[in-house]
Structure 1
Amino acid sequence: MRRPKMSVAATAILAIGSVYTLLPVLWVLIAATKSGSSLFNSSTAVPGTSLLHNISQLNSYRSGLFWRWMYNTLIYAGGGAFLGTVLSGLTGFALAKYEFRGKKVLFNVLLGGVMVPAVALAVPTYLMLAKVGMAGGYLSVLLPSVAAALPYGSYLGRIFAASSVPDEVLEAGRIEGAGEWRLMLRIAAPMMVPGLVTIFLFQFISIWNNFMLPFIMLGDDRKFPLTVGLFSLLNQGAQQPALYNLVITGALLSILPLIVLFLTLQRYWRSGIVAGAVK
């Protein structure tokens, strides 16, 4: 049986998109194995043998400053994604399963928040936090990150709650005497796990890759996340070309936690897909 032309075209487009996406990762992987002298002088496709040396150099740079940036990024992304997921799940569940005055207005405001680019709010957020003395600390990055992720997370939470939590199950729980918080935590939350994992991953990756907000908020390089820290190293590379190897090696290492997180949590997506197919 011949494959429809549209199917072949879609497959080709996806293949081209995959190659386009993976080529920069492949370049970083190869470049991280080269020494400083061969980075710009050898063929792009030929790997070197200096990966361990580059990692050692990165580890010793300013007493392990890179790992401090890694730790900071885990705090910002992990804490922000966790808080954002909890708030998004609660908000989405309330919007999907309860009727209250102003519900449509609140939902429309959240949708409007999705349309506002986070970059446009970075400077006003800095001015507001500077006025209350919070700029420059961990909370100056963590709290705005949670707030910025909340509109889209709440939108997803509403969709997942409406599709995965039957009203009949909630009514049965109320008949058995369960309170609303217990219904949310003991009944709805387990049903929404695939959706909550999706929200967590979206928010984690968004905060992990965030550059503008911490760049504006933070002045102490000991509090930088990886994005701002590697950017500062890149700027110094103009005067010290040896730092380019550290930047590339750091970029490679910064990808690994995202890969591990995705591989660890993807089983929840599979369970959600299977459950949806059975229903």
Structure 2
Amino acid sequence: MFERLKEDIQSVFDRDPAARTSFEVLTTYPGVHAVMAHRLAHGLWKRGFKWLGRTVSNLARWLTGIEIHPGATIGRRFFIDHGMGVVIGETAVIGDDCTLYHGVTLGGTSWEKGKRHPTLGNDVVVGAGAKVLGPIDIGHGARIGSNAVVVKSVPDNATVVGIPGRLVERRGAGDKAHREKLAKKMGFDAYGATRDAPDPVANAINCMLDHVHVMEAKMSRMCEVLKSMGYTDEEVSLPELTSCEIVSTAEELHKLGEEESDDDTAASKSL
């Protein structure tokens, strides 16, 4: 019991830079209070004391603004930040090291008995106001954006945003590694390393890096075939790009995008 409590407190320090002392966390964090109350209510629920479990859960809701059904299964180091308005349904299952922000709902879409709430894997983060509905699976390491409405299963290490929730990017270690390696080879300091950033210039550069990576792989295979046929050629190294050229190019792209946006706005006003 005390080991789990220590883990819960430490998880707050790991994910909330505003936390200062263990005493402060233990006495002023409603998310911690809600999890402690749920562990008691869940234990009563599993032992057949259904009404008493619901009573403990209801009392915790009054005190914290967080409603967790005593039948929900929650893993270790679960952290609810701020917490007001969080609702977790009866058949919800939450893995280890998950984080929920205020206004999150893990709800159902049916009045039928049985499994009707989502299952979250390990290390899942659900942003403020998001709704995850139905008996769906949210993969390990997934990220749900703020105010998203998710009604379909999400694969591991994916990012989902919008209404209805749509897959922005499935973060693969291999994709990121080859992109960073190629950017370094080109003398480019990985501008906007993730595709789920809203910056269109970052997205365009990432797409170009992926395209160059595929073309480079094809050219390497072609060279190997030519060498096997007896063709020889001197090694040619890729010329380096200076950081000044890269910065100026990025600035020009941004300026061009802003000018096009201003022109579109002016044209719409004239119409």
TM-score (norm 2): 0.21
Q: Higher strand fraction: Structure 1 or Structure 2?
A: 2
Higher relative contact order (CA 8 A, sep 6+): 1
Q: Higher helix fraction: Structure 1 or Structure 2?
A: 1
- Decide which structure has the larger Cα Rg and report it: 2
